[in-house]
Amino acid sequence: MFTLVSPDKTQLPPGAVVRLPATWQEYQHLCDQRGDGSIPRIKYRNEEVLLMSPLPIHGRDAHLLANIVINLLDHNQQEYDAFTPVTMSLPQKSGIEPDYCFYIDNWQAVSGKKRIDWQQDPLPDVVIEIDVTSYSDVRDYLPYRVPEVWLFRNQQLLIHQLQSSDYQLETHSRYFPNVDLLNTIARCVQIAYARNTSAAIRDLKQRLNNPTPDS
């Protein structure tokens, strides 16, 4: 497959990233052209669009991390809501598509909603970005002031927390303060790549239900 971006059709080979100058209206046209699909991923910032066609590993990693979060929340009996795919947008300024977003503290604000007004409604507490092709940038979330952005790159989790006007790299999540999240995810990733995602999640559940001193 070859790369094609035109007013009538857009197609990218898996793993391709394309950066083009664009207006907000051109970005919206690309989103409308894609319709209800989720490929290619489309981002708008600083009067340009970035398009990316994810590799299969992208979706697998997103599924794994989301399942880890869900199991941690369920284990703590925390209520939450989650969205994927989702397009976050601020007209004329930004458009971005996180791999997953979680409402934890603010789940009640979006309960039952079919649409979210990103200028009026509370923002997700945590967004997850899988970066395989250097397409992701945590600062893309600064206009939205998302409290915590998880960037998964090179099979390693990087936790970025909003501090004043920028994101700072942290070792713990404010939403799971008692969990050694970096080691927990590293173990799950190791098992998932050695065997499969279901084995990794079963191991996580077992360790949550039967904690040991090194868990």
Can you tell me whether residue 158 is helix, strand or coil? Answer: strand
Whole-prediction pTM = 0.90
More confident: 71 or 8? 71
DSSP single-letter state for residue 68: H
**Residue 214 confidence (pLDDT):** 59
Rg, the chain, Cα only = 18
Q: Which residues of 11-45 are buried (b: 16+ CB within 10 A; e: fewer)?
A: ebeeebbeeeebebebbbebbeeeeeebebbbbbb
Q: What tens digit of pLDDT does each residue of 106-157 get?
A: 999 898 888 899 999 989 999 999 988 777 889 999 999 999 999 999 889 9
State which H helix or E strand residue 207 sits in: helix 197-209
Nearest to 159 by CA among 174, 149, 144, 145: 149
Reduce the DSSP state of residue 4 to 3 states and report it.
strand
Residues 158-173: pLDDT tens digits? 999 999 889 999 999 9
Domain-by-domain residue ranges, the chain? 1-53, 55-209
Q: What is the CATH number of domain 55-209?
A: 3.90.1570
